[in-house]
A and B are shown apart, each in its own frame.
Chain A
């Protein structure tokens, strides 16, 4: 198989397989959660939970308070650095938007590539720092499961191969681009079956927490 055949496979059949598995898996996961059902709330509502739910989705993205932020400054900076970097790379790079547009029929403006490049570096450094912490911090290391390392690698490799493709590092570009797409396909396939699902479920749980608190009339 030469680089062109490889690229052809990952852009066609590979992407089809990965997308189908991702959609099937995610729908199973989400429907299972939604169909669990909750016990009927017999108490009189103090307030409408909707606005509190919506607010909580966003408010939980900001640091809770100064003390805990100061206490875990490292995780705070690396965690935000990684997530913001990853978001920018996925959703604000022209080729990515072009792919989404071909799938969904609509797109949005992109950032200049050198800016996206900077965010890639931020995300890569943050991820490496977080892995270093995971390996050196005794408690975090003890709590880590093989899955934690798997999802770390599955997230790191697409970023790395994407960066290498853009800068034409070490390998011919077509191989790099093929590896980049293949690594994303691997990420898509394991996504629904690992803790990567948090990218979707966190909004559900935040909404639920906020809504419950709102209905009871307490802060969330």
Chain B
């Protein structure tokens, strides 16, 4: 892909109207909680933006993130913008393969030294470099090499952001996230399994408009998209507050659309835009489809104690420690009680009766 065409021109060539483009800018601005006065600025910046060079590295991943971004539904502006960023290297999407592909990556790195964006999906195995390699290069080596001269890194998907599924207990490959390896570059985490397509284009739009990355939360996620709690924004929240719950997936409560907390919904600890932006062009999101939130945009979501166990339940089986506690407590209590009894009977046996003879009278001197 050539780097010469401004984004606006490229979009128009693909049949995107000016109106549609402005609509996208307005949506992006509102999604990022920017004032409406910022819309022209975004439009102007995006319109004239030279497409940034982007190197997309896929490590231990399932390609679901790429699928989400490129094939969510009929071509959208998000998709087109995504297509139009200069993807110099993406081994799923690019035509070149083998040596040619690696040459493209190296050329892009050389040409745009210090300016290119690095997008990573998938986690990096530290256990054995052989677990995941590209063209014979280990994931760790490739990440370190490409990150060195990147302007910023976007970790797309929960695997790249927090280790995700490969990181799940017992983590056989020693999978870690990008931020555990790269410490000296600005990193934006865009977690989700997969993340919502508009979130990544939103982050890109922000980068193109302001030349810097958006404000992040304590887990490195853009606050504008991950600032809201699913539970707080859930349309089923009133049922939670009223105490109306579905107890099984086919009971009366489930049919009436009551709260899914008891069925393991992790909405209360999950920060994402699903409940507000929704999926598939704003059609629906998991809870609306009748299934609890898995908390896929949170670290360790795979190990949060079972998708169908309520959040307040333990992540481990407590019956064993309860049984051990009861047995040990009963034994220790009985032993202590018997010891006390022995002391008591010893005291009784050692008791000497005091007679008048034993009493002496101290004469005042």
Residues of A with Cβ closer than 8 Å to B? 2-5, 7-8, 11-13, 15-17, 19-32, 34-37, 94-96, 98-99, 102-103, 109-114, 168, 172-175, 177
Query: How far is it, in angstroms, between the C-alpha of A36 and the C-alpha of B336 when the chains are bound?
Result: 10
B166 to chain A, nearest CB (A): 16
Query: How far is it, in angstroms, between the C-alpha of A179 and the C-alpha of B150 when the chains are bound?
Result: 38
Does the CB pair A103–B322 fall under 8 Å?
Answer: yes
B306 to chain A, nearest CB (A): 10
A-B pair count, CB < 8 Å, reads 147
A154 to chain B, nearest CB (A): 20
| Chain A at the B interface: SS class | helix
Among the listed stretches B129-137, B193-201, B248-256, B313-321, which one makes contact with chain A, having 4 or more residues with CB under 8 Å of it? B313-321
Which chain B residues in 22-39 approach chain A with CB under 8 Å?
none
B285 to chain A, nearest CB (A): 19
Please pick, from B240, B303, B314, B338, the residue contacting A99 in the complex, using a CB distance under 8 A: B314
Proximity string of chain B (237-268) to chain A, C-beta cutoff 8 Å, 1 when within and 0 when not: 00011110100000000000000011000001
Does the CB pair A11–B269 fall under 8 Å?
Answer: no
The answer, yes or no, to whether B89 is at the interface (CB within 8 Å) is no
Known: A23-B325, A28-B329, A94-B245. A168 touches B232 (CB 8 A): yes
Does the CB pair A19–B303 fall under 8 Å?
Answer: no
Query: How far is it, in angstroms, between the C-alpha of A7 and the C-alpha of B310 when the chains are bound?
Result: 14
Proximity string of chain B (330-365) to chain A, C-beta cutoff 8 Å, 1 when within and 0 when not: 101110111011001000000000000000000000
Report the nearest B residue to A2, measured CB to CB: B299
The answer, yes or no, to whether B76 is at the interface (CB within 8 Å) is no
A91 to chain B, nearest CB (A): 13
Residues of B within 8 A of A22 (CB): 325
Residues of B within 8 A of A13 (CB): 316
Query: How far is it, in angstroms, between the C-alpha of A99 and the C-alpha of B313 when the chains are bound?
Result: 5
Residues of B within 8 A of A27 (CB): 325-326, 329-330, 332-333
Please pick, from A2, A26, A95, the residue contacting B311 in the complex, using a CB distance under 8 A: A95
| Residue among A8, A36, A175, A177 with max Cβ neighbours from chain B (10 Å) | A8
Query: How far is it, in angstroms, between the C-alpha of A12 and the C-alpha of B243 when the chains are bound?
Result: 26
**What would 14 A/B residue contacts be, using CB atoms closer than 8 Å?**
A2-B162, A8-B305, A11-B314, A16-B318, A25-B329, A27-B329, A28-B329, A32-B337, A35-B341, A98-B312, A99-B310, A103-B319, A112-B243, A174-B298
A49 to chain B, nearest CB (A): 23
Report the nearest A residue to B268, measured CB to CB: A173
Report the nearest A residue to B237, measured CB to CB: A113
Known: A28-B333, A28-B336. A20 touches B324 (CB 8 A): yes
Does the CB pair A12–B240 fall under 8 Å?
Answer: no
Does the CB pair A35–B338 fall under 8 Å?
Answer: yes
Which chain B residues in 17-63 approach chain A with CB under 8 Å?
none
Does the CB pair B229–A168 fall under 8 Å?
Answer: yes
Does the CB pair B314–A16 fall under 8 Å?
Answer: yes
Proximity string of chain B (84-124) to chain A, C-beta cutoff 8 Å, 1 when within and 0 when not: 00000000000000000000000000000000000000000
Residues of B within 8 A of A5 (CB): 299-300
Query: How far is it, in angstroms, between the C-alpha of A21 and the C-alpha of B243 when the chains are bound?
Result: 32
Residues of A within 8 A of B305 (CB): 8, 11-12
Does the CB pair A110–B243 fall under 8 Å?
Answer: yes
Residues of B within 8 A of A21 (CB): 325
Query: How far is it, in angstroms, between the C-alpha of A5 and the C-alpha of B303 when the chains are bound?
Result: 10
Residues of B within 8 A of A98 (CB): 261-262, 310, 312-313
Query: How far is it, in angstroms, between the C-alpha of A36 and the C-alpha of B320 when the chains are bound?
Result: 30
Does the CB pair A173–B312 fall under 8 Å?
Answer: no
Residues of A within 8 A of B324 (CB): 20
